[in-house]
């Protein structure tokens, strides 16, 4: 016979049992739940697992509340709820650590030996409270069985009531529930979700109870959530031979995070010797550092004590644990999503490697080893995106906003005019999708670029209350109208359209810089002209010419949208229509008829790229 909890002086001396009584459905009484006698911190995780296991999955059933019986209990479902919601809402941050690194000392090595599956541990820290050694206050940690458990000494700080006030008064709490429902959906789709299964991990029962029957997915995980982790989580195996744990990342609410991440692909990736890739701006300033190799104990020992004996270094192989060891993680962020380059770096450039070669492909290989796969395909990532860091997830499985068209570069004129806080357009309408006669797109992705996504021509951007009027599209239409009237010409090298009747001003063109050709850009003279009421009135005075111009362009752009020349013709048609709306003041302004002598064929073509040529029409009355 042994006492129920060795070392506990509060239990009745009659509360004892034989070892064989622990079999079957025996459960200790709530008043006997103490973790202070267990020899390691993992006892807190075991206690939280026990508490979550006691939850009932029956709708409307009264849940057990052992904390009302035992006020010394440190792990409760309510505190579990607060930690999880606090993480999603950013009140609590996740700090991944390797227990076998030098700073964890011998105690970390002992814990890692005790539970090898928990070598890579996620510590939870409060973002607002200061703890020991200048770090944020540690309030809990992650565990494969219970997901999260609470630090045991916080009750005396009155911490939990403070956190509850912050969480329950947070205006975005319902959004946090929706993100967790989205997160759960990915486990369901992967057939890894079954909280009622006899072998289901306790965290699934806890999440099922937290979300209840009425919480619906918000479908916001792809666009408005940043993933933190990774964590190793126990799951119900899909088949006899399947693994019983997976690597997964938890969501943190971050509005427009996917769009901000997309901006990173406009910064050049540069490999560094320290096992990282930095994304740098055109001035060479590092914006983001991405960890590409594990920080092994050997690296830490070398940094702490150069020349130290290698015998003290744990050389255990790290292969297969790269994600858990921090590979793929952002290590530094500076103004992410606020910079706009003139080149997209997903693919390689002529003399430099792009993001795919330097970051994505190596991370895919590391993720395959971490997920115990021989290889990893894009379909694997899209099928379970929460199993991969944002550096993979948001490239292979991009946000839903990409459905409207490809990511576009923005010209300098757009970025220069962007007011602080004004959302910049992120996606343009591909001219393969726009059909003549449809509503005019406000942003278009110009066809014909080779190697990079094309520049975006923008009419206006930003919310209604802070609308920024650009007029790039109508400025291109204005250049086409000047050519139509005979007041502009294509320079002999085909790189610029010149406004011949106004001192040869350059309106738009393609520029070769360091042997690299940039995509179509509308220049300031053309933009200034279409902001001028004087120029608008002058164009309207040419009403008969304007009518022939409209009749000519409204007959182009039909045909197979996959053909580059059709896309280029549609670009001209969109630009002309925006120009006409500006000149005529439509809707409700001047109206021109649906007739007029059309130009039979383009006089020249303005080359946008391989096989993509913008037709330039000349009015029959403008010929010499």
- CA-to-CA distance for 422 and 340, rounded, in angstroms? 14
* Mean pLDDT, residues 601-615: 85
Query: Among the listed ranges 14-28, 65-79, 102-116, 347-361, which one has the minimum average pLDDT value?
Result: 14-28
Q: What is the pLDDT of residue 306?
A: 37
DSSP string, 438-499: SPPPSEEEPTT-SSSPPEEEESEES-GGG-EE--HHHHHHHHHHHHHHTSEEE-TTSSEEEE
pLDDT for 395 beyond 50: yes
User: Which ranges in 384-431 belong to alpha helices (H)?
Assistant: 390-396, 412-417
Most confident of 89-98, 291-300, 413-422, 449-458: 89-98
pLDDT in tens, 145-154: 999 999 887 8
| 328 in a structural domain | yes
What the block records as the tokens of 11 is 């239990």
Instruction: Read off the pLDDT band of 17 (50, 70, 90).
Output: very low
24 and 47 housed in the same domain: no
185 within domain boundaries: yes
pLDDT of residue 436 exceeding 80, the answer is: yes
Mind listing the pLDDT tens digit for each residue in 315-352?
344 667 889 888 999 887 655 555 555 567 888 887 88
Residues 287 and 215 in one domain: no
What pLDDT shows up at residue 529? Answer: 92
pLDDT > 90: percent of the chain: 33
Angstrom distance (rounded) from CA 163 to CA 128? 10
Identify the sign of the CA torsion 72, 74, 79, 80.
Answer: negative
Q: CA nearest 72: which of 45, 27, 28, 35?
A: 35
Are 130 and 212 part of one and the same domain?
Answer: yes
pLDDT the model gives residue 259: 75
What is the rounded CA–CA span in Å between residue 105 and residue 221? Answer: 38
Domain final position from 404, 419, 450: 404
- In the predicted model, what is the mean pLDDT of residues 64-68? 75
pLDDT mean over 252-281: 85
Residue 404 vs residue 363, higher pLDDT:
363
Containing structural domain, residue 553: 409-622
The predicted pLDDT at position 170 comes to 93
Asked if pLDDT for residue 205 goes beyond 90, the answer is: yes
CA–CA separation, 140 and 41 (whole Å): 11
Q: Is the peptide bond before 230 cis (omega within 30 degrees of 0)?
A: yes
Q: Is this structure's pTM higher than 0.85?
A: no
Same domain for 456 and 444, yes or no, is yes
Q: In this structure, are 467 and 581 located in the same domain? A: yes
Same domain, 337 and 416: no
Band (pLDDT 50/70/90 cuts) for residue 2 is very low
Q: Based on the structure, what is the number of domains in the chain?
A: 4
Cα angle vertex 124, ends 119, 125, to 5°? 135
Which stretch, 342-346, 546-550, 611-615, has highest mean pLDDT?
A: 546-550
- Write the CB contacts of 210 (distance below 8 Å, at least 6 apart in sequence): 81, 84, 177, 180
Q: Provide the pLDDT for residue 298.
A: 40
- CA distances 73 to 47, 78, 142, 144, 227, Å, are 9, 12, 18, 21, 31
Q: Determine the pLDDT at residue 571.
A: 93
Give the residue among 364, 273, 291, 280 at the shortest CA–CA distance from 330: 291
Going by DSSP bridges, is the β-strand pair 488-490/496-499 parallel, antiparallel, or unpaired? antiparallel
- Note the pLDDT of residue 479: 95
**Percentage of the residues of the chain whose pLDDT score is greater than 70:** 76
Q: For residue 164, name the pLDDT band (cuts at 50, 70, 90).
A: very high
Say which residues have a Cβ less than 8 Å from residue 273's Cβ, sequence separation at least 6. Answer: none
71: CB partners within 8 A, 6+ apart: none
Question: Beta strands of 473-574 (E only): which ranges?
Answer: 488-490, 496-499, 505-509, 512-513, 516-517, 521-522
Q: Between 68 and 327, where is the model more confident?
A: 327
Q: Is the pLDDT of residue 99 over 70?
A: yes
Mean pLDDT of 220-243: 83
CB-based burial label for 68 (10 Å; 0-12, 13-18, 19+): exposed
Question: What pLDDT score was predicted for residue 82?
Answer: 94
For residue 308, being part of any structural domain is answered with no
pLDDT digits (tens, 9 = 90+) for 584-600: 986 556 677 777 788 88
Is residue 330 within a helix (H) or strand (E), and if so which, with residue range?
strand 330-333
d(CA 504, CA 616): 18
Residue that wins the pLDDT comparison between 58 and 31: 58
Collapsed DSSP state (helix, strand, coil) of residue 50: helix
Both 146 and 238 in one domain: the answer is yes
CB count in 10 Å sphere of residue 160: 18
Residues 212 and 288 in one domain: no
Q: What is the average pLDDT value for the chain, to the nearest integer?
A: 80
DSSP per-residue string spanning 219-264: S-HHHHEEEEEEEEEE---SSTTS-SEEEEEEEEE-TTHHHHHHHG
In a domain, 47, yes or no: yes
Question: Strand runs (DSSP E) across 57-201, as ranges?
Answer: 92-98, 120-130, 136-143, 147-150
Neighbours of 127 (CB within 10 A): 13
Is 425 a member of any domain?
Answer: yes
> Is 381 domain-assigned?
yes
Residue among 91, 253, 79, 248 at smallest CA distance from 176:
253
Rounded distance between C-alpha atoms, residue 136 and residue 90, angstroms = 13
Residue 151 domain-assigned (yes or no): yes
pLDDT > 80? residue 20: no
Query: Do 416 and 364 belong to one domain?
Result: no
> Rounded to whole angstroms, how far apart are CA atoms 388 and 222?
13
Query: First-to-last CA distance in the chain?
Result: 114
- Please check whether residues 437 and 374 belong to one and the same domain: no
Confidence band, pLDDT 50/70/90 cuts, at residue 431 = confident
pLDDT at 463: 81
Residues 6+ positions from 605 with CB-CB distance below 8 Å: 613, 614, 615, 616
556-559: long-range contacts at Cβ-Cβ below 8 A with a sequence spacing of 24 or more? 556/615, 557/436, 558/436
pLDDT at 25: 59
Over residues 499-530, the pLDDT tens digits come to: 988 888 889 887 655 555 666 788 888 999 99
Q: Can you tell me the distance from the alpha carbon of 148 to that of 594, in angstroms, rounded to the nearest whole number?
A: 68
Q: Which residues of 423-446 are buried (b: 16+ CB within 10 A; e: fewer)?
A: ebbbbbbbbbbbebeeeebbbbbb
The predicted pLDDT at position 423 comes to 77
Residue 302: pLDDT above 60? no
Confidence class for position 80, pLDDT limits 50, 70, 90? very high
Query: Do 269 and 176 have their domain in common?
Result: no
pLDDT of residue 343: 63
Residues 24 and 40 in one domain: no
Residue 114 lies in a domain: yes
């Amino acid at each position: 016979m042994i006492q129920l909890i060795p070392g506990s002086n509060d239990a009745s001396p009659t509360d004892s049992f034989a070892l064989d009584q622990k079999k079957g459905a025996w459960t200790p009484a709530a008043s006997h739940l103490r973790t202070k006698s267990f020899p390691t911190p993992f006892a807190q995780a075991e206690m939280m697992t026990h508490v979550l296991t006691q939850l009932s999955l029956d709708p409307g059933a009264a849940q057990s509340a052992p904390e009302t019986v035992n006020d010394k209990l440190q792990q409760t479902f309510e505190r579990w709820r607060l930690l999880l919601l606090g993480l999603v809402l950013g009140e609590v941050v996740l700090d991944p650590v390797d227990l076998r690194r030098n700073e964890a000392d011998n105690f970390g090595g002992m814990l890692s030996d005790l539970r090898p599956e928990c070598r890579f541990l996620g510590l939870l820290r409060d973002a607002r409270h200061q703890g020991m050694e200048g770090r944020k206050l540690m309030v809990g940690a992650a565990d494969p069985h219970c997901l999260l458990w609470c630090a045991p000494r916080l009750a005396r700080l009155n911490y939990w009531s403070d956190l509850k006030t912050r969480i329950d008064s947070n205006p975005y709490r319902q959004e946090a529930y929706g993100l967790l429902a989205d997160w759960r959906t990915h486990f369901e789709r992967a057939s890894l979700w079954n909280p009622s299964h006899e072998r289901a991990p306790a965290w699934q029962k806890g999440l099922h109870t937290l979300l209840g029957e009425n919480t619906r997915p918000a479908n916001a995980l792809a666009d408005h959530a940043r993933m933190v982790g990774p964590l190793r989580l126990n799951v119900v195996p899909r088949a006899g031979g399947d693994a019983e744990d997976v690597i997964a990342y938890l969501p943190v609410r971050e509005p427009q995070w996917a769009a901000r991440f997309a901006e990173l692909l406009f910064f050049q990736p540069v490999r560094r010797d320290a096992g990282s890739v930095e994304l740098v701006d055109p001035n060479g300033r590092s914006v983001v550092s991405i960890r590409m190799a594990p920080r092994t104990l050997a690296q830490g020992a070398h940094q702490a004590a150069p020349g130290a004996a290698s015998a003290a270094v744990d050389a255990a192989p790290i292969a297969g644990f790269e994600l858990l060891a921090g590979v793929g993680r952002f290590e530094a962020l500076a103004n992410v999503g606020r910079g706009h380059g003139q080149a997209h770096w997903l693919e390689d450039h002529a003399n430099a490697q792009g993001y795919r070669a330097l970051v994505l492909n190596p991370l895919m290989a590391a993720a395959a080893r971490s997920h115990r796969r021989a290889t990893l395909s894009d379909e694997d990532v899209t099928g379970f995106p929460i199993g991969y860091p944002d550096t993979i997830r948001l490239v292979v499985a991009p946000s839903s906003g990409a459905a409207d068209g490809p990511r576009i570069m923005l010209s300098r004129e757009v970025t220069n005019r962007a007011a602080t806080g004004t959302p910049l357009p992120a996606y343009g309408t591909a001219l393969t999708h726009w059909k003549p006669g449809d509503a005019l797109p406000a942003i278009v992705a110009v066809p014909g670029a080779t190697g990079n996504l094309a520049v975006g021509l923008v009419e206006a951007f930003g919310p209604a209350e802070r609308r920024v009027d650009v007029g790039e599209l109508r400025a291109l239409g204005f250049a086409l109208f000047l050519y139509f009237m005979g007041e502009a010409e294509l320079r002999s090298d085909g790189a610029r359209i010149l406004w011949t009747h106004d001192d040869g001003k350059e309106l738009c063109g393609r520029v070769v810089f360091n042997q690299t050709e940039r995509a179509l850009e509308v220049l300031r003279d053309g933009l200034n002209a279409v902001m001028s009421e004087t120029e608008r009135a002058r164009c309207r005075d040419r009403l008969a010419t304007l009518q022939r111009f409209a009749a000519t362009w409204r007959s182009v752009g039909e045909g197979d949208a996959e053909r580059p020349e059709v896309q280029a013709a549609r670009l001209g048609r969109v630009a002309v229509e925006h120009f006409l709306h500006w000149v005529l003041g439509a809707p409700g302004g001047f109206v021109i008829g649906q007739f007029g002598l059309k130009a039979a064929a383009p006089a020249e073509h303005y080359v946008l790229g391989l096989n993509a040529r913008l037709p330039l029409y000349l009015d029959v009355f403008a010929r010499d």
